Chain A
Amino acid sequence: MTITRRQLLILLPAAAIAWDSILAGTPEESPNYKMTDHWWGMLIDVTKCIGCGTCVQACKAENLVPDGYYRTWVERYRIAEWDTEMPQVDSPDGALHGFPATTQEGGKNFFVPKLCNHCADSPCTQVCPVGATFVSPDGVVLVDQKYCLGCRYCIQACPYGCRFLNPETDTASKCTLCYHRITKGLTTACCETCPTGARQLVDFKNPNDPIHKFLETHSVQVLKPYMATKAKVYYFGLDGSVR
């Protein structure tokens, strides 16, 4: 059989496509954890937070977060009676060592823990020019440390200020919702150590998760709902002044 030039020209690209798919191979799969069975989020009960900062310390220890940077932090709000639109907010060292005493009398005072909201429509993943950050099939926003260029687009895109450039790696860094823990059946470091249960890991796809009963009888809110990010960190008892 002889192959004409015309046939060769048709065959070559076809062969190249076939080779391409052979090179792609089959990706390895985790044996005990099925991503499609989970949809992760968190429930934060603001009325239980005591501002001790144990979650911040735990996050630092679990994820080796560099000094001066925080994947989770706690803010103290103080709202004087006369100005609900202009709350005074402080968070000394991200509440790593808790808070000093509140000196001013009166007004409304409370703590708000913050972390990545693991948005289903996350602005940060949409701006990445190289596909280094993404929402995983189980709903966790992650960063590919090998692919990240450190261009900082995602850091300025996050409406919640949850990302930072890790000075040790020069790549974007953020809360992974302790992905290395939740895929092993553990809860996150912050949820594990929270002494009052103000933080609870939530799996929306698990029908036995207490979140479903909780949502039937409680009103919850997400941060900046007008950004339409489909944030999955739900706050109970959140004051309207919180940004």
Chain B
Amino acid sequence: MANLKDAGHLFRMAAVFAVGIVLFLVLRGIFVPKTFGQYGHYRAAAIADVAAKPVVFAGHQACEACHTDVHEMKSKGVHARVACESCHGPLAKHADDPTALQPPHIDVAVLCVRCHEANIAKPKTFPQVVSADHSGGVVCDTCHKPHSPKIDTGVGQ
């Protein structure tokens, strides 16, 4: 130890470094979020933050649980694979509590043509009409039932 007699300045420097390192680790422990780096260079808790958002569209399974009659009619028609909320809009609130929110009234004249108005860019196999020529202003649901739209009375389609 005798030859360390004049090495006091080295110990003082080491002490300064040690304090610096300890301070860094303590501050890092305080300021870096607890889940940062769990899966990668990001805050793992952010995943839970995104997943915690409320659902707005209930999903057709929720609708079908109660509206079995509509589901049965729809499943036999050409709209079988069109989800309820495609036309009726987002209704998770209604699915959670049917009295809380009533589905809004649907303007058939606007809704049907959104899909079925003729456009050259649409797939050729998709049923399309030029609405002005097709019905002459008569609203769609006068003839077509939206849940099963094909007309099989022989009058036409």
Residues of chain A having any CB pair with chain B under 8 Å: 5, 9, 12-13, 16-17, 19-20, 23-25, 27-28, 30, 33, 35, 47-54, 58, 61-63, 76-78, 98-99, 101-102, 105, 109-111, 131-137, 142-147, 176, 179-181, 183-184, 186-187, 189, 192-197
Contacts and interface: CB of A to CB of B under 8 A. Distances in A.
A144 B48 contact: no
Nearest to B30: A23
Interface string B104-128: 0000000000110111111100100
Contacts of A132: 42, 46
Contact of A137 (B18, B39, B86): B39
B60 interface: yes
Given A48-B123, A133-B42, 16 more contacts: A20-B26, A51-B119, A52-B115, A53-B114, A58-B57, A78-B121, A131-B42, A134-B46, A144-B46, A145-B49, A179-B47, A181-B57, A189-B57, A192-B57, A195-B81, A195-B115
Name the residue in B36, B39, B81, B121 with the highest tally of chain A Cβ atoms < 10 Å from its Cβ: B121
Interface residues of B, number: 53
Contacts of B135: none
B58 to A, nearest CB: 8
A205 to B, nearest CB: 16
